[in-house]
Amino acid sequence: MRLQCPACSAEMDLDVLLAAEEGRHTLARLITLGTPMGAWTLRYIGLFRPEKRALSMSRTLKLLGEIWPDIERQAITRKGRDWAAPAAHWQAAIEQLLQTRDRGGLTLPMSSHGYLYEILVGIADKAEGQAERTREADRREPGHSALPTAAAPTYRPAQPAQDDDHTPVPAPDDVRKKLAATMKSLKGIPQ
């Protein structure tokens, strides 16, 4: 079906108009992610662009549609379980991918999200390990943190309670007499 643009009278197919509408919705979703995350996501999608060709709008929308649910729920499912994937993890994973590309260690164009998801699993696994170490340290020593900070309290063993008056108290007379008798009897024992 052919349609005419109301602004410039150019003719176009309905699928072109629908793709443009989907593109606007996609751009709106990227904006809701925020500037850094939206920019990182677009840079990541650029890794799928074939050499010497533009990435089609339908392919871009398909690629974004595959990762949108995971970005929004801030988790991914991989290796039979869910892994936490907040925006900071996505950004770090995409940055790592781009650095790998810059070093020549990435075959382009990418064909799936598998490599990104493996990086996300690694980041989530490290974060879980650090959280576990912190919980264990807190369990062993309450108030202790596995991550040292300048404000972290130092551990000091409890001191035994002491009297305010530090002058020695003499032993009662009957105790002193028994002690003297015991000492006298011990002098006669050969050692």
pLDDT 10s digits, 37-89? 778 888 899 999 988 888 877 788 889 889 988 998 999 999 899 999 999 99
- What tokens does 36 get? 């850094």
Tell me the domain boundaries of the chain: 2-145
Torsional class of 29: left (φ above 0), alpha (ψ -120 to 50), beta (otherwise): alpha
Tell me the C-alpha distance between 28 and 33, whole Å.
9
Give pLDDT, residue 125: 94
- Cα separations in angstroms, 31 against 66, 68, 171: 18, 13, 83
Q: pTM of the entire structure? A: 0.61
- Going by pLDDT thresholds of 50, 70 and 90, the confidence category of residue 31 is low
Residue 175 has pLDDT above 80, yes or no: no
Q: Is the dihedral of CA 180, 184, 185, 190 positive or negative?
A: positive
- At residue 156, the pLDDT reads 43
Q: Which range in 2-6, 38-42, 144-148 is most confidently predicted, on average pLDDT? A: 38-42
